[in-house]
Chain A
Amino acid sequence: MAKYILKRVLMAVITLFIVICLTFFLMNAVPGSPWLSEKTPTQATIDALNEKYGLDQPVIVQLGKYLGNMLQGDFGDSIKMQKDRPVLDIITTMFPISAKIGIIAIVWAILVGVPLGCLAAYKRGTWVDSLLRVICTLGISMPGFVVATILLYLLAGGIEGFKIFPTIFDGTWQSYVLPCAALGFYPMCYLSRQTRTAMLDSINQEYIKTARAKGLRNRKIIFKHALRNALIPVITYLGPQIAFTLCGGFVVETVFSIPGLGRYFVSSIQNRDYPIIMGTTIFLAAFIIVMNLVVDLLYKLVDPRINLSKGGN
C-alpha cells in the first residue's frame, strides 16, 4: 500500500513538474515583452523592469528561481491586471468562490446522476430509461455556456415577469443556484450515463445469476450486488469530472459574472498577464492532479480485488 501510494505521488509530482516546465517555456517563447503594449516605455525602463522581474537572466536560471520561489509559496506578482499584487494572494481570494460553486456542482451531480443511472438500468427498456437517455445524451452534448445561458435567460429575467433568480452574482444563496445548476449539469448527465452502463455491465455478470439462483429479491440483487460493483468503475470517472467541472467554471463564471478564479484566469490570458497565467495554471493543475490522485487511491481502497501491497494493476 505505502509503496503504491509513493509511486502514485511520485507520478503526480512528475506530472506537475512537466506542467510547470511546459508553462514556463511557453511563456518564455512568447516574443516581445509584456511591457510593449504600455505607452512605449524607454529602453531604460524596460531594462529596469526586466531586471526587477528577473527577465534578463537565462531561461534555466529563471525556471530554477521560479521553482524555488514557488516552493516558498511565492508565485510572483501580477504585472498588469492588479499591478504588483502577489499572484498567490489573488488566487487565495478568488479560488474559494470557484471552489464553492464547483463543489456544490459536483456534489449535486453525483447525488442526482448516480441514482438516475441506477434507475435507468433498473428500468431498462422502458420509457423511463429512454427519457433519461435522451436527457443525458442531450446533457453531454450541450456545451456549458449553452446550458448556462439558457438557464440565465429562462429563470433570470429573459422572459418578462418571470425572474426567479438574480442576474448578478451577489453571494446570496439564490445567486449560487443557477451557476451550480449549469456547472453540474454536464457531470450529472455524464455520471448518469456511466452509471447506467456500469450497472448493466454488472447485471450481466455471472454473480448476478448466482444471486438470482439463491432466491434473492430483485431489489436486493440490484442494490446490493449490482450497485456495489457498478460504483467502483464510476469512481474512476470522478477524477476527470472534477477537472472538467473546474475548467467548466471558466465559462459559467463568465456567463454569470462571478468574481471567481476562472473568470480572472480567462481575462488574464486576454491581458497577457503572464505571472497570473502561470500561477493560476500551476495552481489549478496541481489541484486537479491531487484530486486525481485522491480518486485513484479511493478506487483502490473500495475494490477489495485490488491488492495494494502488490503495487496496483
Chain B
Amino acid sequence: MAEKKRKKVLGSLQPDVEDILHWNDLPENAFEPASTQEKESFIQDRKSVSYWKDAWRRLRHNKVAMVAMVIVILIGIYAFLGPYLVPYGYDEQIRGANNLHPWHYSLEDQERINAYMEEHNNTSNLSPEEAVEQAIAEAEARGEELSSIEIAKIRANAKTSQSSADTEVTEADAIKALGIKAKPFGYSNDELQRIADGESVFPHIFGCDTHGRDIMVRTMIGARVSMIVGICCAIIVLVIGAIYGSISGYCGGKVDTVMQRIVEIIYTIPEVLIILLLGATLKPILEDFQNSGDGFLQNMVTILGSNLIAIFIAFGLLYWVTMSRIIRGQILQLKQQEYVTAARALGAKGGRIIKRHLLPNCIGQIVTTTFLQIPSAIFTESFLSFLGMGVSAPMTSLGSMCSDALSGLTSYPYRLFIPAAILSVMILCLNLFGDGLRDALDPRLKK
C-alpha cells in the first residue's frame, strides 16, 4: 500500500519520466564532478546590451513611433531642402498668379468654358458695371457716346437679368456641362502660355495666395521656422532646467527651499499671457535696440525678428520649471544611492558628481522631456503666430499663414487647411515619437 502510493506520487512528481526509464543508460562519467568551465558555459546568458542599444531595440519595435519618426524626417527634408528645389521665393509675388487654385484648366478648356458661358448667358448676364463698360466700349467703337440715362438703363437691365439666377450659367456649371476635368497643380495663364511655348515651368502645387506667392514654398519656410523654434526652445529649456534643477537638487537644504519657492511662483504665472505681453512690448524695445548700432547682437536681432526673440525669452523664463522639477526629483532620488556617497567619500567635487554620476542616470527622462518640449514649443509658436504675434513679415510661419487665410476660408479653404494639416501632422508625429521615446528610454514607465 505504502509502496503503491509512493510510486504514484513519484510518478506524478517526476519532471522527466524517460530519465527514470533509462536509468541504466546514464553515461559512464555521469557522476564525475563538473569543471568550473563546464558550469560557466552551462548558463546561456543573454547578451548584455547597452542602455542605448536596448532602448533603440524597444523603439524599433514600436511601429507607431517609427512611422512618426519617418514622417518627422520627411517634414524636415521638406522644410530644409524643399525651398532649394522650388524655384520660387517665399516672398516672391508672381505676376498673374494671384489667388491661384492648386488645380488649373488648360488654355483650351478655359476657352471652351468662356465660350460656353457666353453662349448660354447673353451679354446682359454680365455684372452691371461690366455691362456698362461693354456698352460704352461698343458705343465708342461706333463713334457714339452713351448718355447717362442709357447707362442707367443698361445697368438696370443687367441687374434684373443677373438677379434671375435661373438663367445664369456660372463657371462651375459650364465645367460640369462640358465635362472638363481640372488638372492638378496651379499654373497662371502666363505660365500655361509659356508651357505651350515649350518652356518647362515649375507648378504651384498648393496654389498661390492673394499676393501671388507660392503656398508650397511658404509652408516649407513656415515648417522650417516651426522646427527651428521648437528645437531652440527645447535646448533653452534643457540648459536652464538642467542647471537649475541639478543645483537645487544637489545642494538641498535652504538653497533648495528658496529655489523651489521660486519655481512654485513661476509655475503659477500664466505663461501664455506673459508671452503675449512680451511679444507686444519687446517688439518696439528690440526695434530700438536694432537701430542702436551694427554689432553682432543687433544683427542677431535683425535675423531672428523681435517676436521670435520674445518667444525664446518667454521659454527661457518660464517653461524650464517642469524640466528643473524632473531633474531635481531624479537627483534627490539618486543622491541617496551609494555610489554618490562613494564618490563623495573619494573626495569628488559637487560639479563633478553632478556631471559624472548624477546626470547620466536621469538621461532617459531628460531626453524625453526635452524632446516633448519641441511639439509644445511649436504649438505655442503657432498660437502666437495665429494671433499675429509670431514671426514678422515677410517671414512666415504656419500659424500666420492660417491666420492670413482665415478671411477667405469659404472660397479658398485649402489655403488654411494645407498649413494647418502640415502643422498638425508635425506636432502629432513629434508627440507620438516622443511618447515612443519615453517608453523606450524609461521602461519603468511603460505600462
Contacts and interface: CB of A to CB of B under 8 A. Distances in A.
Is there any pair of Cβ atoms, one from A and one from B, under 8 angstroms apart in the complex?
Answer: yes
Interface stretch (A83-91, A144-152, A223-231): A144-152
A250 B281 CA distance: 18
A235 interface: no
A141 B284 contact: no
Interface-central residue, B279, B282, B409, B431, by most chain A CB under 10 Å: B409
A303 interface: no
Contacts of A200: 447
Contacts of B409: 149, 152-153, 158
B399 A19 contact: no
Given A27-B281, A138-B424, A158-B413, A146 B387 contact: no
Interface of A is mostly: helix
Contacts of B387: 250-251, 254, 266
A251 B278 contact: no
A15 B280 contact: no
Contacts of A150: 417, 420
A142 B330 CA distance: 31
Interface string A12-47: 101100110011001101111000000000000000
Interface string A231-262: 00000000000011011001100110000000
A141 B427 contact: yes
B277 A143 contact: no
Contact of A146 (B280, B402, B431, B435): B402
B265 A143 contact: no
Given A141-B375, A157-B410, A158-B413, A146 B423 contact: yes
Interface residues of B, number: 46
Contact of B268 (A15, A140, A158, A269): A15
B297 to A, nearest CB: 17
Contact of A30 (B265, B281, B383, B416): B281
A246 to B, nearest CB: 8
A142 B426 CA distance: 10
B432 A137 contact: yes
Contacts of B427: 141-143
B386 interface: yes
B277 A15 contact: no
B273 interface: yes
A31 B285 contact: yes
Nearest to B402: A145
B173 interface: no
A289 interface: yes
Given A27-B281, A255-B406, A204 B383 contact: no
B276 interface: yes
Is the interface on chain A under 10, 10 to 19, 20 to 34, or 35 or more residues? 35 or more
Interface string B194-235: 000000000000000000000000000000000000000000
A187 to B, nearest CB: 14
B199 to A, nearest CB: 37
A12 B383 contact: no
A32 B424 contact: no
Given A23-B277, A243-B270, A149 B285 contact: no
Contact of A144 (B383, B417, B432): B383
Contacts of A266: 276, 387-388
Contacts of B410: 153, 157-158
A63 B200 CA distance: 65
A11 B265 contact: yes
A269 B279 contact: yes
A254 B269 CA distance: 24
Interface-central residue, B281, B410, B435, by most chain A CB under 10 Å: B281
A285 B388 contact: no
B383 A143 contact: yes
Contact of B284 (A23, A31, A138, A145): A31
Nearest to B419: A146
Contact of B265 (A18, A29, A146, A269): A18
Interface string A143-181: 111100110110001100000000000000000000000
B274 interface: yes
B382 interface: yes
Contacts of A289: 268, 270
A62 interface: no
Nearest to A266: B387
Nearest to A29: B285
A281 interface: yes
Contacts of B278: 26
A143 B382 contact: yes
B428 interface: yes
Given A137-B431, A254-B387, A29 B273 contact: no
Given A31-B288, A140-B431, 6 more contacts: A11-B268, A19-B273, A31-B285, A247-B270, A281-B276, A288-B273
Interface of B: 261, 264-265, 268-270, 272-274, 276-282, 284-285, 287-288, 375, 379, 382-383, 386-389, 399, 402-403, 406, 409-410, 413, 416-417, 420, 423-424, 427-428, 431-432, 435, 447
The 6 A-B pairs of least Cβ separation, nearest first, read: A141-B428, A247-B272, A141-B427, A269-B280, A26-B281, A31-B288
